[in-house]
């Protein structure tokens, strides 16, 4: 199912840079085939590191994460390692 967001705005140059950094971070975290709880936590910390992001930015960040990680998990190229405590 495709979700349309007709009122969303194009990302600002700063948001585009942040999204590219998040993409690199996500790709590095799934490169070893294991997604740890700490890597997910680091992603959320990076997403909110520069204050309160716009709703569109939060949506784009989570969608980016979902696209990369879900593809790897669905293809059995990565798995989630739950916390040990």
The answer to whether position 1 is within a domain reads: no
The answer to whether position 4 is within a domain reads: no
Q: Tell me: the pLDDT tens digits for 24-61?
A: 999 998 888 888 888 888 888 888 887 788 888 888 88
| 28 vs 82, more confident | 28
The answer to whether position 3 is within a domain reads: no
The answer to whether position 70 is within a domain reads: yes
% residues pLDDT > 90 (the chain) = 5
Quote the domain boundaries for residue 20: 13-81
Domain total in the chain: 1
Query: 79 forms bridges with which residues in the sheet?
Result: 34
Per-residue confidence (pLDDT) for residue 1, from 0 to 100: 45
Residue 4 has pLDDT above 70, yes or no: no
The answer to whether position 74 is within a domain reads: yes
* 81 contacts 32 by C-beta, under 8 angstroms: no
Half-sphere exposure in the Cβ direction for 33 (13 Å, CA): 3
Tokens 């798995």 correspond to 79
The answer to whether position 56 is within a domain reads: yes
How far apart, in whole angstroms, are the C-alpha atoms of residue 12 and residue 3? 21
Q: Find the range with the poorest average confidence among 5-14, 38-47, 70-79.
A: 5-14
The answer to whether position 6 is within a domain reads: no
């Amino acid at each position: 199912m495709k979700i349309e967001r007709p009122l969303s705005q194009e990302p600002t140059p700063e948001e585009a840079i942040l999204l590219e950094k998040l993409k690199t971070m996500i790709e590095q975290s799934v490169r070893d085939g294991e997604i740890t709880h700490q890597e997910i936590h680091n992603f959320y910390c990076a997403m909110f590191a520069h204050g309160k992001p716009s709703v569109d930015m939060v949506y784009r960040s989570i969608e980016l994460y979902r696209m990369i990680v879900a593809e790897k998990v669905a293809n059995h190229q990565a798995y989630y390692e739950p916390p040990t405590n």
